[in-house]
């Protein structure tokens, strides 16, 4: 029997959070953590968590499993369980709405700051804005982000300054548009990032790289932003 | 764009660059001092080394680098933990007091170093 400890908190009724223990029979199978959560839900229907696609695409079930952030639906027990024990907590640093569900408003506010959409002030061509295969290649490793928030909520700089530091997820998207050959707002984008908090709160500890379920590298993207800022500075 | 009036250069890029350049200077200085100490040095040799203008300038450069490096580092620590968000309204007062304290200590060390080197 797998021992599972789940973070429980209902701000409307509980004075403080607590951990609830469950015994789960996995039948010896190497299930995904989400499967275990579904089994727990069958035992206690009041346990709250987010989920949707169950295949690592939607980014809904970002959780902290045995101390490491990840997507419950694509994290096998063999990867996270130690000594037959699984501790599941909500993503760290964000306010808890209930149990494993967090309020991601601050995360989205930072994402919104980088204006994550193509900006081009030249007249639109008749069909579409073309891009060479080489320029398109520059977006690989950037566009795949699913905004699950595993990276930003594993970053201490984001824990302490979620209202000022854009965080790895937002900065990965900032660079995705800085690197896009079709975007003409590069200077304005860089101008907005050149303060001591937005980018430079990253101290390069690479927690984001360590937890990204899509295998992306926000630290590298942040390094590229720094170099772009440095190149245009006098 | 987040405003800041207490960071070293008022710009994230400038602080980042100063932090790295000062780090390299400090590494070079401590490697130089470390190599001298490991090689074995008498009091007279040590005194003669610091009597040279070159060594004094190098030492002063390292002291100023340390001052800038320390301010940027302590500023980051203060703006991480001593904030309104972490401590409520007293966070701003504590951070300002902490920054004044850090600035004062750094200033005293710089003046003291000048006195030691050229006094």
- Whether A120 has a pLDDT exceeding 80, the answer reads yes
pLDDT digits (tens, 9 = 90+) for A152-195: 999 999 999 999 999 999 999 999 999 999 999 999 999 999 88
In this predicted structure, what is the pLDDT of residue B3? 74
Tokens of residue A84, six digits:
């037959």
Distance CA B68, CA B66 (A): 6
Among A76, A102, A128, give the residue marking a domain's end.
A102
Asked whether residue A34 falls in the same domain as residue A112, the answer is no
B43 is in an annotated binding site: no
How many C-beta atoms lie closer than 10 Å to residue A126's C-beta? 5
Q: Using pLDDT thresholds of 50, 70 and 90, give the confidence band for residue B46.
A: very high
A215: left (phi over 0), alpha (psi -120 to 50) or beta: left
Measured distance CA(A109)–CA(A152) in Å, rounded: 13
Q: Which residue among B12, B17, B85 sits closest to A197, beta carbon to beta carbon?
A: B12
Beta-carbon contacts of residue B2 (< 8 Å; ≥ 6 apart) = A164, A195, A196, A197, A198
Q: Is the pLDDT of residue A58 over 90?
A: yes
Whether residues A112 and A218 fall in one domain: yes
Q: For residue B86, which residues of chain A lie inside 8 Å, CB to CB?
A: 160
Judge whether residue B9 has pLDDT over 90.
no
Binding residue per annotation — B29? no
Q: Quick check: B2 pLDDT over 90? A: no
Is residue A80 a contact partner of residue A68, using CB atoms and an 8 Å limit? yes
Mean pLDDT estimate for chain A: 96
Q: For residue B1, is pLDDT > 80?
A: no
Residue A168 and residue A213 in one domain: yes
- The answer on A186 and A78 residing in a single domain is no
Which ipTM score applies to this complex?
0.83
**d(C-alpha B109, C-alpha B60), whole Å:** 11
Cβ-nearest to B15 among A160, A161, A200: A200
Contacts of A208 (CB under 8 A, 6+ apart): A151, A152, A154, A155, A168, A169, A218, A219
Q: For residue B19, what are the contacts with CB-CB under 8 A and spacing of at least 6?
A: B68, B69, B72, B73
* Contact (CB<8Å) A194/B81: no
Q: How many CA atoms lie within 13 A of A89 on its CB side?
A: 16
- What average pLDDT does range B35-60 have in this prediction? 94
Residues A111 and A196 in one domain: yes
- Residue A97 pLDDT: 97
Helix (H) or strand (E) holding A188: helix A186-193
pLDDT in the model for residue B11: 81
Regarding whether A133 and A170 lie in a shared domain, the answer is yes
Residues A115 and A22 in one domain: no
Residues A89/A19, Cβ–Cβ less than 8 Å: no
Partner-chain residue, chosen from A201, A203, A233, that has the shortest CB–CB distance to B13: A233
Last residue of a domain, one of A85, A102, A119: A102
Q: Which of A102, A136, A153 is the last residue of a domain?
A: A102
Task: Count Cβ atoms within 10 A of the Cβ of residue A68 and give its class: 0-12 exposed, 13-18 middle, 19 or more buried.
Answer: middle
User: Do A95 and A148 reside in the same domain of the chain?
Assistant: no
Asked whether residue A225 falls in the same domain as residue A111, the answer is: yes
Number of domains in chain A: 2
- Stretch A110-139: mean pLDDT, rounded? 95
Q: A145 and A80 share a domain?
A: no
Band of pLDDT at residue B5, cut at 50, 70 and 90 = confident
Report all structural domains of chain B as residue ranges with CATH numbers, in order of start: 13-118 (1.20.1300.10)
Chain A residues in contact with B17 by the CB 8 A cut-off are 230
- Are B4 and A197 an interchain contact pair (Cβ–Cβ within 8 Å)? yes
Helix B53-81 vs helix B12-39: crossing angle, to nearest 10: 130
Say if residue A173 is in the same domain as residue A139: yes
**B14: closest CA of chain A, how far (Å):** 9
pLDDT at B4: 74
Strands A62-65 and A68-71, how do they pair? antiparallel
The DSSP annotation for A167-186 comes to: HHHHHHHHHHHHS-TT---H
Supply the range of the domain harboring residue A188.
105-232
How many CB atoms lie under 10 A from the CB of residue A52? Answer: 11
Mean pLDDT of A110-137: 95
Band (B25; pLDDT cuts 50, 70, 90): very high
Q: Which chain A positions have a beta carbon within 8 Å of B85's beta carbon? A: 160-161, 163
Average pLDDT value for residue range A133-153: 97
For the cut 80, the answer to whether the pLDDT of residue A127 exceeds it is yes
Tell me, what's the pLDDT at A23? 96
Where do we find the tokens 């989920």? Answer: A51
Chain B residue nearest residue A191, CA to CA = B1
Residue B71: CB partners within 8 Å, gap ≥ 6? B8, B102, B103, B106
Q: Are residues A115 and A94 in the same domain?
A: no
Strand A2-8: give its sheet, edge to edge.
A18-24, A2-8, A85-89, A62-65, A68-71
CATH of residue A30: 3.10.20.30
* CATH (domain of A170): 1.10.1060.10
Which residue from B4, B75, B85 is facing A195, i.e. has the nearest CB?
A: B4
User: What is the full DSSP assignment across chain B?
Assistant: ----SSSSSSSHHHHHHHHHHHHHHHHHHHHHHHHHHHH---HHHHHHHHHSHHHHHHHHHHHHHHHHHHHHHHHHHHHHHSSHHHHTTHHHHHHHHHHHHHHHHHHHHHHHHHHHHH-
CB contact under 8 A, B13 and A194: yes
């Amino acid at each position: 029997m797998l021992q599972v400890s789940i973070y429980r908190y209902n701000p409307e009724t509980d004075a403080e959070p607590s951990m609830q223990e469950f015994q789960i029979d996995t039948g010896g199978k190497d299930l995904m953590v989400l499967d275990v959560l579904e089994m727990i839900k069958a035992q206690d229907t009041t346990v709250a968590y987010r989920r949707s696609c169950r295949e690592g695409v939607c980014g809904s079930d970002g959780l902290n499993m045995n101390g490491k952030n990840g997507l419950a639906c694509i994290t096998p027990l063999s990867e996270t369980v130690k000594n037959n024990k699984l501790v599941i907590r909500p993503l760290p640093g964000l306010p808890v709405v209930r149990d494993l569900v967090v309020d991601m408003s601050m995360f989205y506010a930072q994402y919104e700051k980088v204006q994550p959409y193509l900006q081009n002030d030249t007249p639109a061509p008749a069909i579409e804005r073309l891009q060479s295969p080489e320029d398109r290649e520059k977006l690989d490793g950037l566009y795949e982000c699913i905004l699950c928030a595993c990276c930003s909520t594993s970053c201490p700089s984001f824990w302490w300054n979620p209202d000022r530091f854009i965080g790895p997820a937002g900065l990965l998207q900032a660079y995705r548009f800085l690197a896009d050959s079709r975007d003409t707002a590069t200077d304005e984008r860089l101008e907005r990032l050149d303060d001591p908090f937005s980018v430079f709160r990253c101290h390069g500890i690479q927690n984001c790289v360590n937890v990204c379920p899509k295998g992306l590298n926000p630290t590298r993207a942040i390094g590229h932003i720094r170099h772009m800022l440095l190149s245009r500075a006098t | 764009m987040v405003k800041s009036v207490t960071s070293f250069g008022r710009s994230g890029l400038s602080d980042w660059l100063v932090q790295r350049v000062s780090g390299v200077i400090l590494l070079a200085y401590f490697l130089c001092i470390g190599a001298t100490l490991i090689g074995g040095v008498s009091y007279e040799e040590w005194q003669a080394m610091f009597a040279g203008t070159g060594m004094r300038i190098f030492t002063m450069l390292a002291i100023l680098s340390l001052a800038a490096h320390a301010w940027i580092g302590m500023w980051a620590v203060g703006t991480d933990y001593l904030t309104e968000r972490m401590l409520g309204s007293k966070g701003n007062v504590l951070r300002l007091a902490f920054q004044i304290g850090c600035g004062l200590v750094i200033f005293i060390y710089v003046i003291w170093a000048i006195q030691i080197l050229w006094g």
